[in-house]
Structure 1
Amino acid sequence: MSGLVNTLMIVAVVAIVIVRQFRARAINTDRRWWLLPVILAVVALREPGILDAHHRTESAALLAVELLTGLAIGAGWAWTTRIWTAADGVVWTKSTKASVAVWAVGLGLRVGLYAVGAGLGVHQDSAALMLGLAGTLLVRGGILVWRAQSLDATSRPAPAYGDGRRPAWKESV
């Protein structure tokens, strides 16, 4: 795929994910939550330009830092997401203001990584960003499913960092 197609795919996935996560929605722990991250990772790994041929070591180091950043952002996002069980036993989730802060820090870190790579003269392909996004979504989904499975029907709302323990209401569809 071309860089433009990869960039458009990344923007579309991020837009969909952000819009969906900042509205209350039920978690289905039986669903294949890992499918989208795996597809993104496969598409990213199939790209021949994921590593710069002239700067392999620097490129590999930047890719490793991008992956670690993605995993940390996914974990931060999952732990700042509010999760609760409704009276009917359905587990609900909604991202908080702290989740916005995690996204902002992640965006800043990724811009910084790009700047470091540009300063070193490393060609950076959009596949590395797509692989980092796949890691973010995979870790976030895994932690949320694990948190949802740990709640039972009588559980109180599980606090999220920065939540303020406000009551959450279901949004109508």
Structure 2
Amino acid sequence: MSTLVDAALVVVVMVLVLRRQMRPRRLDADRRFWVLPLVLAAVALRDPQLVDRGHTAWSVVLLGCGVVAVLAAGSVWGWTVRLWREADGALWSQGTRATLAAWGGMVAIRVGLFGLGAALHLRQSSSALLLSLAVLLLVRSLVVHWRARALVTPGRVTLLS
């Protein structure tokens, strides 16, 4: 895929995910939350230019740093989501201001890593951004679903912030 198409795909996915996260919505425990991250990762990993062949070591280190950073950011994001169970037993989630701050931090980290790569004269593929987004979404969903398991008592309104 071209860099422009990859960048557009990342922006569209980010806008859709953020928009959904900031609204209260019912959390479906049976939902296959891993499908979108898996598709994004598959698209990213198919790109032969994911790693700059001229600077393989630095490129791999930078890619690894990006993945580790979004592992942390995804975990933080998952903990910022407000969860509650209604009296009817339905589980709900909603992003908070801290969720927006976590996204802002993640974007700042990605921009910093891009700047570092540019300073090292690495050719950077937008597939690294796709891979990072896939990891971010997967980790966030895993954390939210793990936290949601703590809300096992139906018939009682429980709030986790």
Superposed pair shares fold, TM > 0.5? yes
Is 1:41–1:131's contact at 8 Å kept on the other side of the alignment?
yes
Task: Note the residue ranges of structure 2 that are not aligned, 5 or more in a row.
Answer: none
Counterparts of 1:155 and 1:71 in 2: how far apart (Å)? 31
1:5 deviates by 1.0
Is 1:40–1:131's contact at 8 Å kept on the other side of the alignment?
yes
Counterparts of 1:155 and 1:23 in 2: how far apart (Å)? 19
Is 2:82–2:95's contact at 8 Å kept on the other side of the alignment?
yes
1:155 deviates by 5.0
Q: Aligned runs of 1:6-155 on 2, under 5 Å?
A: 6-152=6-152, 153=154, 154=156
Counterparts of 2:90 and 2:60 in 1: how far apart (Å)? 43
Counterparts of 2:16 and 2:157 in 1: how far apart (Å)? 30
Counterparts of 2:74 and 2:2 in 1: how far apart (Å)? 26
TM-score normalised per structure 1: 0.90
Cα deviation 1:147-168 (Å, max 9, x = unaligned):
112212125201x2xxxxxxxx
Aligned residues between the structures: 159
Counterparts of 1:72 and 1:101 in 2: how far apart (Å)? 14
Task: Note the residue ranges of structure 1 that are not aligned, 5 or more in a row.
Answer: 161-173
Task: Supply the RMSD in Å over aligned alpha carbons.
Answer: 0.9
Counterparts of 1:155 and 1:65 in 2: how far apart (Å)? 40
Is 1:29–1:149's contact at 8 Å kept on the other side of the alignment?
no
Runs of 4+ in 1 over 6 A off after TM superposition: none
Identity %: 42
Counterparts of 2:157 and 2:61 in 1: how far apart (Å)? 43
TM-score normalised per structure 2: 0.96
Instruction: Give the aligned residue type for 1:137.
Output: L
